[in-house]
Amino acid sequence: MMTKEGFNLDVDRGRKQRFPAHLTVAASQTFIDQFKAQIDGDSLQGFHFCVLDPLEPIPDAIIDSAQMIVVEVEQGQPQSMQRVVQIHARRPELPQIVALADANISTVRQLLRQGVADVLSLPLQIEEVYDSAANILENVEHEPVAKVEAAPLVAVVRSRGGEGSTTILSHLAQQLALSSSVKKGVCIIDLDVQVGGVTHYLGITPRRSVEDLLMSGDRLDPAMLKSVAVDRGHGLHVIAAPFDIQPLEQIDTEQLLKVVHLARQEFDFVLLDLPTDWTHWNLSTLLDATEVLMVVELQISSLRQAKRRLELFRSVGIDPASVAIVVNRAQRKLFRNIDLKDVSEALKRKVLVSLSDEGDKLSAAQDQGLLLPEMQRNTKFNSEMKNLADMVLHRCSRG
> 62 pLDDT exceeds 50?
yes
**pLDDT, tens digit (0-9, with 9 covering 90-100), for 240-249:** 999 988 888 8
Q: Worst-scoring range by mean pLDDT, 9-18, 136-145, 220-229?
A: 9-18
pLDDT value at residue 327:
93
Long-range contacts of 196-199 (CB under 8 A, 24+ apart): 196/240, 196/241, 196/242, 196/273, 197/166, 197/241, 198/166, 198/169, 198/170, 198/238, 198/240, 198/241, 198/273, 199/230, 199/238, 199/240, 199/241
Fold matches, 13-138 and 153-396: yes
pLDDT at residue 225, as a whole number: 95
Q: What's the CATH code, domain 153-396?
A: 3.40.50.300
Per mean pLDDT, which range of 3-17, 114-128, 329-343 is the poorest?
3-17
Structure pTM? 0.68
Rounded CA separation 228/209 (Å): 6
The region of weakest confidence among 2-16, 21-35, 58-72 is 2-16
Q: What is the pLDDT of residue 149?
A: 76
Tell me which H or E stretch contains 25. strand 23-27
What pLDDT is stored for residue 386 in this prediction? 94
pLDDT band at residue 398 under the 50/70/90 scheme: low
Higher pLDDT, 368 or 134: 368
User: What is the rounded distance in angstroms from the CA atom of residue 26 to the CA atom of residue 23?
Assistant: 10
pLDDT at 131: 84
Would you state the pLDDT for residue 8? 35
Whether residue 42 has pLDDT greater than 70: no
Give 265-312 pLDDT, tens digit per residue: 999 999 999 998 888 888 888 888 999 999 999 888 999 999 999 999
Ranges assigned E (strand) in 128-273: 153-158, 186-190, 230-233, 236-239, 269-273
Report pLDDT for 147. Answer: 52
pLDDT at 21: 52
Residues 6+ apart with CB under 8 A from 27: 35, 49, 50, 51, 52, 54, 70, 71, 72, 99, 124
Where in the chain are the domains?
A: 13-138, 153-396
Residue 82 has pLDDT above 90, yes or no: no
- Look at residues 153, 36, 144 and name the one whose alpha carbon lies nearest to residue 90: 153
Q: What is the pLDDT of residue 263?
A: 96
Question: What radius of gyration do the chain's Cα atoms show?
Answer: 23
Fold held by 13-138 = Rossmann fold (3.40.50)
pLDDT band at 332 (very low <50, low <70, confident <90, very high): low
Please name the amino acid found at residue 74.
Answer: E
Tens of pLDDT, residues 83-99: 888 888 888 888 999 99
pLDDT tens-place string over residues 201-237 = 999 999 999 999 999 988 899 999 999 999 999 999 9
Calculate the average pLDDT of the chain.
85
Question: Is 13's pLDDT higher than 80?
Answer: no
pLDDT band at 170 (very low <50, low <70, confident <90, very high): very high
Comparing 120-134, 296-310, 328-342, which segment has the lowest mean pLDDT?
A: 328-342
